[in-house]
Amino acid sequence: MKKRIAIFASGSGSNAQKIMEHFKRSSEAEVVLILTNNPQAYVLQRADNFEIPAHIFTRQEFYDTDNVIRLLKNLQVDLIVLAGFLWLVPATLLKAFPNKIINLHPALLPKYGGKGMYGDHVHNAVLAAKEEESGITIHFVNEHFDEGEILHQSKFKIEPGDNLEMIKFKGQQLEHQHFPRVIENLLKKMKS
């Protein structure tokens, strides 16, 4: 039986797109649901393009009910992937899916992680610190922002003159290259 992936995203969903593309031709796993807290998120259009169902939820539904957990359980989801999802995962969801929720962070953790550290905030902090390299971290999710066990890191060099757009581009190249593969490897290690 194919492993089943659910993706949470809050925005454009370029990583969600790469994951959907990767597993569309897989005999091992499939993306069965896209979830978002943002009814305007472009990821909804991407899900529609792949004919993958989507669920939009409110803050109240996510934190004060078990609706999202029930939905994921009913779909027999094996792995939850956070791909540009900005809310802290509630303890109830972590408990329902222990070691089955992973996240992508656009920096080399433990540097530049924590509450409020996402997207351009991360890249601007890296630039301000005059770092010589940055990269991506794929990690398990726990009850704190960006503190779960690290599964994978990839680096890129920051050249003199690299601006925000260049750093974002380099990071995104690594995300698109590595995220689907790390997910695939993790699913292979999971017991059926």
Which active-site residues does the annotation give?
A: 105
Q: How far is CA 191 from the centre of its chain?
A: 22
E strands, the chain, where?
A: 3-8, 29-36, 54-56, 79-82, 101-105, 133-140, 150-157
Q: For residues 114 and 103, what is the distance between their CA atoms, to the nearest angstrom? A: 13
Q: Which of 104, 105, 97, 69 has the alpha carbon at shortest distance from 183?
A: 104
3-state secondary structure of 100: coil
DSSP string, 50-98: TT--EEE--HHHHHH-SHHHHHHHHTT-SEEEESS--SPPPHHHHHHST
Residues β-bridged to residue 66: none
CB atoms within 10 A of CB 112: 22
Q: Judging by DSSP bridges, how do beta strands 133-140 and 101-105 pair with one another?
A: antiparallel
